[in-house]
Structure 1
């Protein structure tokens, strides 16, 4: 360990924490919940405050940013609030203190606080909120109900060329933006085959002569590139290909689904559970005494092994749960007639309360941030609570 590396830990020992940069917190949150995972209807990321500069004060985690939570944040001198639900959801045309939501924004700006919301990006992330929720049922095979397929349009470029020209074309395409897959560059594929052609009058063949049928050894060469780089990549092939009329095939590529990222989760349990056992698992995991349960099999003998979950209001994913063979679906809230519809389709429903399916994840997120950003003072709000009580 060098002196430069040691100094922050020494400062943390004396003062209880080390200075943290706002950009570090934002980068950490985006690593935990990449913004591209969010729904296109959502408003996620940095909502209020500067993205650069020192982060002074603790980071407060909350599900909902209310006046009570803002009072708590101001009292502790918080430098940032991570609000799971975005306090700014629809575009603002003004910021006036007579409006409850706008008043919170005004108070944050006045106090110099950063407000960041991960919302549906955190739902969809690997190791995010829905993975925590589905862990209530124990071990099993877990995947997303609606796998994330990426947002980048890609093209596969294929050409046929002599073996001795492959390296030049590969590097030309790489310079144009092709052949990048994750942390790898110059990714390509080649297969040797036979090409044939008959040069006609006026042709200027590199190999062979006019009027003579030719057979030559060629390499079918492939590279993938972003759609926006395709035009330049095609020009690069033409520039470095030795043939007068190179064959260039362009294929649109379908997005590749990510099994472990996306909205909702489905688990196939290693050990099937009864409806009553599942209810107890849910209450213990969420730390609640009461939940709403409905089943089309009221005798209690059925064993459940295929379960779908979606934190919050998951009614939009319930049809996917049915289509994926789920026998039970856990979410926060759902309309009465929706519950009846899914019971008729043979799927049991558990409703645990909207924020009850979300709030228990905050300590997990706090622990992750502490590990990721050593010395960061992270606190879970004590004033954040469900607006509804069971009586």
Structure 2
């Protein structure tokens, strides 16, 4: 399959617009003469071992969940492992794509998979994603007694302009929703009314929430279980023998878990301040754990990529019908969490 077509289909599954603003997602590296994609290798981290594995397959593309290009690179050569990975991929015409937090955000993505270890219950994003509607909001503060009818009649004649709210009571305002192309036309009408034209505000883009989409998950469990059982459920789901546990103040292993806040990877900033019986994530800073514990919230830490890697088989199943028989999908056997508890 042509590389551009593969990228287009990957972006259909996890649109880059859903990624966090600090993230670096999408097609990150490709040679000047890209190869058609016959084999795709899935990994969490793109290491030298994973690159060697890709070349043995051989794979023409690597989907690395964590972006291997994140902080600015000052040079490309062979002095560091990351430089060797990137130059090696380019020299062997292996393209690199990263979905990262876009894949976290989607319904059925990494965070929903991780939350699945807690059993049945309701889930909602901790941070709601939204989409750009292509419209802007224009607010017009109104003086008392201002007759809105003539201006509204003219505004409604414009294409792409609709009235969101408005009255002529003192201290209120008229709010318009305008397509970008209609903003200037609306302003031309408003400018004819001296009482209001000097106070018009273009508030910004109107965004609509995307249900079930966003960072992290807040889970309200159907079957309330003691913390000791939840710990075992997490271990089984992630295939781990050990996890790290911090008991919330006044809590014990027998304490019931009714609510949980979940975030794959490094969840400290997403989970911060969320009221829940339990936080489940890969890693948090020492002081973030202390803050949670002080509020009576217990914390399970599984190490960063242990909360993500188990999603790769599910990702392969999602990609198979999307890419069809033209592209064979492989899951890295070299990829692993670098930290173990001994």
Same fold per TM (> 0.5)?
yes
CA apart distance, 1:46: 0.9
Residue of structure 1 equivalent to 2:203: 252
Tell me, yes or no, if structure 1 residue 388 matches structure 2 residue 342: no
Change (3 A) 1:94 1:164: closer
List per-residue Cα deviations over 1:268-319 (Å, max 9, x = no partner): 1122111011112111111112111222345433211110011111111232
Task: Specify which of 311, 315, 324 is matched with residue 374 of structure 1.
Answer: 324
If the length of structure 1 is used for normalisation, what is the TM-score?
0.73
Gaps of 5+ in 1: 1-19, 179-187, 195-219
Tell me, yes or no, if structure 1 residue 108 matches structure 2 residue 86: no
Change (3 A) 1:35 1:95: same
Q: CA separation in 2, counterparts of 1:66 and 1:309?
A: 27
Kept in 1: contact 2:31–2:91 (CA 8 A): no
Structure 2 residue matching 1:360: 3-state secondary structure: helix
Q: CA separation in 2, counterparts of 1:51 and 1:235?
A: 47
If the length of structure 2 is used for normalisation, what is the TM-score?
0.83
Tell me, yes or no, if structure 1 residue 26 matches structure 2 residue 43: no
Structure 2 residue matching 1:329: 3-state secondary structure: strand
Tell me, yes or no, if structure 1 residue 358 matches structure 2 residue 308: yes
Q: What aligned pairs does 1:248-287 form with structure 2 within 5 A after superposition? A: 252=203, 255-287=207-239
Kept in 2: contact 1:314–1:333 (CA 8 A): yes
Q: What aligned pairs does 1:5-24 form with structure 2 within 5 A after superposition? A: 20-24=1-5
Q: CA separation in 2, counterparts of 1:237 and 1:370?
A: 53
Structure 2 residue matching 1:371: 3-state secondary structure: helix
Structure 2 residue matching 1:273: 3-state secondary structure: strand
Aligned residues: 324
Change (3 A) 1:79 1:305: same
Gaps of 5+ in 2: 141-147, 169-173
Structure 2 residue matching 1:86: 3-state secondary structure: coil
List per-residue Cα deviations over 1:83-123 (Å, max 9, x = no partner): 01111111222211122111111111111111011112222
- From the CA coordinates, give the structure whose radius of gyration is larger: 1
Residue of structure 1 equivalent to 2:144: none
Task: Specify which of 204, 209, 224 is matched with residue 178 of structure 2.
Answer: 224
Change (3 A) 1:160 1:191: farther
Q: Which moved more, 1:362-371 or 1:28-37?
A: 28-37
Task: Specify which of 262, 281, 289 is matched with residue 331 of structure 1.
Answer: 281
Tell me, yes or no, if structure 1 residue 39 matches structure 2 residue 17: no
Q: CA RMSD in A?
A: 3.2
Q: CA separation in 2, counterparts of 1:157 and 1:98?
A: 56
Kept in 2: contact 1:274–1:304 (CA 8 A): yes
